[in-house]
Amino acid sequence: MKLLLDTSDVHAIKRIAKMFPIWGITTNPAIVAAGGVQLFDLLPAIRDALGGEGTLFAQVISSSVEGMIEDAHKLNERVENLVVKVPVTPKGLQVIKELTKQGIPTLATSVYGAAQGLLGVLAGAKYVSPYVSRIDAQGGDGAQTVSELQCLLSTHAPDKELVAASFKSPRQALECMLIGCKGITLPVNIFDLFISDPAVAVAVDQFVENWGKAFHTDCL
């Protein structure tokens, strides 16, 4: 499974990269704006934080077809191995189709329905990201949407990849993993929650305490 971080926090990327092989980093305009660092300065810093490896995903800003294509070219030229995120809208589908002709890889984003996501990949996107928690917030079933989209991809576009996104809890991400989702992108706080159960710290401290009492040392 491919695990990505959804963040613009370079320090967090470095911290997590020391303990886990991050496959890639995704950003969006809201995440970049919250971090306060211009995207063109941020992308090389993220690349450095990953040791020059991994796949970066960055989103177009413009609302016009021509503007999104121009954004895509600028992003593609900024760092190597970058995938351009394009919302699946009528204009976005035009952009995905054109960028695919030009050999620029894309991710179909802002996906709230399985059929919408399928259109994004059939237009040419290599990746597609359904918004799990946002679908739930609108009264839908995010995990079910992921399952339906994954089924559609298996039938109609087996060479494309689903990367589930927008999680508010570890349980939401776990449900997508159990479905068989091959890729998920997690906010830093959700990644940390997977390994921050207080019971784990208590168990480790108890092991150390018992060892110390028996052998009067805290190491082998």
Q: Which amino acid is at 208?
A: V
Examine the residue annotation and report whether 2 is marked as an active-site residue of this protein.
no
Q: How far apart are CA 165 and CA 153, in angstroms?
A: 17
Asked if residues 61 and 71 have their Cβ atoms less than 8 Å apart, the reply is: yes
- Among residues 18, 85, 97, 160, which one is catalytic? 85
Nearest to 52 by CA among 73, 9, 82, 16: 82
DSSP alpha helix (H) spans, 29-82: 29-35, 39-49, 65-78
DSSP 70-108: HHHHHHHHHSSSEEEEEE-SHHHHHHHHHHHHTT--EEE
* Farthest-apart Cα atoms in the chain, separation: 71
Residue 45 burial (10 A CB sphere; 0-12, 13-18, 19+): middle
The set of catalytic residues is 85
